[in-house]
């Protein structure tokens, strides 16, 4: 329960570099949040673009291809999505 309460202890790394863990995690948190936000914006833009093109070109080869790829990826347990 120490981790949940905020006592994250010290980093024990071979070589004697005994640093606190909490500042290291908090310094990486901002970069991680920016990366997640940027990735989400790209995913939303690509999804909206392909959705609009599929709607405008209904029953075209593009529409069938995108629908097939989306269906295959939704059924696949591959590295595209994490499996929890």
Residue 52's pLDDT band (boundaries 50, 70, 90)? very high
64 pLDDT more than 60: yes
Task: Report the first-to-last Cα separation within the chain, whole angstroms.
Answer: 24
CA angle 6, 9, 11 (to 5 degrees): 135
Q: pTM for the whole thing?
A: 0.63
pLDDT score, position 15: 63
State the Cα–Cα distance between residues 38 and 60, nearest whole angstrom.
Answer: 31
Which pLDDT value is given to residue 22? Answer: 78
Each residue of 18-30: pLDDT tens digit? 777 778 788 889 8
Tell me what pLDDT residue 79 has: 56
């Amino acid at each position: 329960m120490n981790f949940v309460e905020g006592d994250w202890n010290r980093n024990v790394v071979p070589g004697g570099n005994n640093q606190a863990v909490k500042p290291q995690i908090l310094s990486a948190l901002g970069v991680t949040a920016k990366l997640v936000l940027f990735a989400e914006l790209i995913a939303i833009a690509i999804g909206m673009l392909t959705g609009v093109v599929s709607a405008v070109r209904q029953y075209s080869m593009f529409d069938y291809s995108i629908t097939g790829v989306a269906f295959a990826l939704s059924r696949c347990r591959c590295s595209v999505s994490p499996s929890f």
